[in-house]
A = this chain, B = another copy of it.
């Protein structure tokens, strides 16, 4: 992509350029981290002029915050919002291989480490991650757990919010601390053990 010629002051933004810039920001965040990435490098990677970036975002942090907010494909949602027709223990068992696949992605693991690690120097970026990824996933997980309690697949006395912390925490820690490479099958086996220890009935 070349610098969009029609993107002068007062003209409409170029959505393709915006998309390329946000994508380049995430790529460089994964590869180098926030502190080792400049606006200049992002512009270069996106194939646009530096001024195109500055016309749209005042600071590198603003740009990264929006890139994190819109990074839907890199921070996938492993919870399933649709109510499936099969019984929950079978649904969970069926989902495990897909979850293993998603969580084993080195790109996903690196991005998670970068975002959590950015907290002390860039609280605004951690906040974007928390609001646009962590919280919505928690809401889906909470709904799934309450459904599981209603279905008799999880103890009705479970402290659902704490159980979410324990399960997402175990996964997060596993992804950040286990040496590379992780294999999808090993992760889905790990998730099965995790669900069992958490008290779920799975098929």
Contacts and interface: CB of A to CB of B under 8 A. Distances in A.
Q: How many copies does the complex hold?
A: 2
A71 interface: no
A176 interface: yes
Interface residues on A, range: 35 or more
A113 interface: yes
A32 B121 contact: yes
A197 B169 CA distance: 14
B30 A120 contact: yes
Interface stretch (A57-65, A93-101, A159-167): A159-167
A159 B33 contact: no
A120 B33 contact: yes
A55 interface: no
A169 B175 CA distance: 11
20 contacts: A33-B117, A33-B120, A33-B121, A114-B117, A116-B176, A116-B177, A117-B118, A119-B176, A127-B179, A130-B179, A158-B197, A159-B196, A162-B170, A162-B193, A163-B197, A165-B170, A166-B166, A169-B172, A169-B173, A169-B174
A168 interface: yes
